[in-house]
């Protein structure tokens, strides 16, 4: 059985990596007043953050249409028997549900939609693992079981410079828990049951990041063999510094740097930072 692997653009796997691992991609869009842009295809991450800084109105985002997805699936029927498609959390976007609906409509291919329950490179980790397994001839069931195993060890914490975008876009759950002190704190955020909720309220960015790194250190000291990613919103030097400091203490741990692209950047704003990991 030939198994294709697909994800959406919010995994932020670079085109080079996707090509190398035969990963297919369906884009989400960011909608400014002047036009709608499919991320990566119509607007680069750099151009997006520049435009975001210039525009008065906050852009909105949209999931791929049912038509876009069925078209992608139909194209895959020529070469594949099944497709595993990994998506951003169904608690923050309708993308996963649309893939499920499209899978019911398209004939000639078995569609296994997978809810990463998060987004960004965490979704990317699942996708890359699925792609490696598919290349080695694994069945869809084995790939899904492995992703479920990974899910048990995945941790992701992130923070934003300003909560306004997340609040306006309606993607912050339990918002009342932190909104009272919106200006004074830098809450650490995470996903719980597919939704974004505050993890801890902390006063400064420095203290918040040090708390996140402390959580990571605890797992390293427990002897876990982790794969770690530092994710930035248009501030690569900061992510590189965090990675270098971490590597100095734990050279044996595999690390990488990723980014919040246009769609996620719309909701997090410039300057967001995230750290995520799972046990290999
Ligand atoms: C849509 O319009 O369907 C897309 C909505 C995307 C919401 C994004 C909310 C922020 C996600 C943060 C992920 C951080 C992972 C470390």
Q: Is the per-residue pLDDT at 175 higher than 70?
A: no
Shared domain for 164 and 267, answered yes or no, is yes
Shared domain for 22 and 121, answered yes or no, is yes
pLDDT of res. 187: 87
pLDDT of res. 176: 61
CA of 251 to the centre of ligand 1 (A): 31
Shared domain for 143 and 239, answered yes or no, is no
Ligand 1, atom 5: closest residue by C-alpha: 93
Shared domain for 108 and 199, answered yes or no, is no
Q: Is the per-residue pLDDT at 78 higher than 60?
A: yes
Cα separation, 254 vs 57, whole angstroms? 40
**30 Cβ closer than 6 Å to some ligand 1 atom:** no
Tell whether 22 is covered by a domain: yes
Tell whether 218 is covered by a domain: yes
Place 36 in a pLDDT band, splitting at 50, 70 and 90: very high
**263 Cβ closer than 6 Å to some ligand 1 atom:** yes
Shared domain for 242 and 160, answered yes or no, is yes
Q: Is the per-residue pLDDT at 83 higher than 80?
A: yes
CA of 221 to the centre of ligand 1 (A): 31
Tell whether 56 is covered by a domain: no
Shared domain for 170 and 240, answered yes or no, is yes
Please state the domain count of the chain.
2
Tell whether 50 is covered by a domain: no
Q: Is the per-residue pLDDT at 66 higher than 80?
A: yes
Place 103 in a pLDDT band, splitting at 50, 70 and 90: very high
pLDDT of res. 167: 84
Place 178 in a pLDDT band, splitting at 50, 70 and 90: low
Shared domain for 170 and 121, answered yes or no, is no
Shared domain for 140 and 159, answered yes or no, is no
Higher pLDDT, 26 or 56: 26
Tell whether 194 is covered by a domain: yes
Tell whether 47 is covered by a domain: no
Place of tokens 């030097």: 237
Shared domain for 104 and 81, answered yes or no, is yes
pLDDT of res. 180: 53
Q: Is the per-residue pLDDT at 182 higher than 60?
A: no
Which of 151, 172, 197 is the last residue in one of the domains? Answer: 151
Which of 101, 124, 151 is the last residue in one of the domains? Answer: 151
Atom of ligand 1 minimally distant from the CA of 94: 3
Q: Is the per-residue pLDDT at 204 higher than 90?
A: no
pLDDT of res. 186: 81
Which of 91, 118, 151 is the last residue in one of the domains? Answer: 151
**156 Cβ closer than 6 Å to some ligand 1 atom:** yes
Best probe residue, ligand 1, of 88, 99, 262 (max atoms within 8 Å of C-beta): 88
Quick one: average pLDDT of 104-125?
98
Token pair recorded at residue 222: 């427990």
Tell whether 39 is covered by a domain: no
CATH number reported for the structural domain that contains residue 163 in this entry: 3.30.1180.10
Quick one: average pLDDT of 183-190?
81
CA of 117 to the centre of ligand 1 (A): 10
Best probe residue, ligand 1, of 119, 256, 275 (max atoms within 8 Å of C-beta): 119
Calculate what percentage of the chain has a pLDDT beyond 70.
96
Shared domain for 266 and 177, answered yes or no, is yes
pLDDT of res. 181: 55
Q: Is the per-residue pLDDT at 95 higher than 90?
A: yes
Please state the ipTM of this predicted complex: 0.99
Shared domain for 185 and 136, answered yes or no, is no
Q: Which residue range forms the structural domain that includes residue 223?
A: 155-279
Tell whether 49 is covered by a domain: no
**160 Cβ closer than 6 Å to some ligand 1 atom:** no
CATH number reported for the structural domain that contains residue 75 in this entry: 3.40.50.10170
Structural contact between residues 195 and 90, judged by C-beta atoms closer than 8 angstroms:
no
Place 183 in a pLDDT band, splitting at 50, 70 and 90: low
Shared domain for 104 and 224, answered yes or no, is no
Best probe residue, ligand 1, of 39, 92, 260, 273 (max atoms within 8 Å of C-beta): 92
Higher pLDDT, 64 or 184: 64
Quick one: average pLDDT of 143-159?
98
């Amino acid at each position: 059985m030939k198994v294709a692997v697909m994800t959406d653009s919010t995994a932020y796997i670079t085109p080079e990596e996707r090509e190398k691992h035969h990963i297919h991609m369906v884009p989400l869009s960011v909608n400014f007043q002047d036009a709608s842009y499919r991320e990566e295809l119509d607007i680069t991450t750099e151009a997006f953050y520049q435009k975001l800084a210039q525009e008065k109105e906050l852009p909105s985002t949209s999931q791929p249409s049912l038509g876009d997805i069925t078209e992608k699936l139909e194209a895959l029927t020529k070469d594949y028997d099944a497709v595993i498609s990994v998506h951003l959390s169904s608690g923050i976007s309708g993308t996963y549900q649309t893939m499920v609906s499209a899978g019911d409509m398209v004939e000639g291919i078995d569609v296994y939609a997978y809810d990463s329950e998060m987004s960004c490179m965490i979704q990317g980790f699942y996708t890359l693992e699925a792609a490696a397994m598919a290349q080695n001839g694994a069945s869809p069931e084995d790939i899904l079981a492995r992703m479920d195993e990974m899910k048990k060890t995945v941790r992701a914490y992130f923070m934003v410079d300003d909560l306004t975008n997340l609040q306006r876009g309606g993607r912050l759950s339990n918002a009342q828990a932190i909104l009272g002190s919106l200006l004074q704190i830098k809450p650490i955020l995470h996903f719980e049951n597919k939704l974004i909720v505050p993890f801890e309220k902390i006063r400064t960015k420095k203290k918040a990041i040090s708390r996140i790194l402390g959580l990571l250190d605890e797992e390293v000291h427990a002897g876990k063999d982790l794969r770690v990613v530092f994710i930035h919103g248009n501030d690569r030097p900061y992510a590189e510094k965090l990675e270098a400091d971490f590597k100095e203490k734990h050279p044996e741990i595999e690390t990488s740097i990723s980014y919040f692209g246009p769609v996620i950047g719309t909701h997090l704003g410039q300057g967001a930072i995230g750290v995520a990991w799972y046990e290999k």
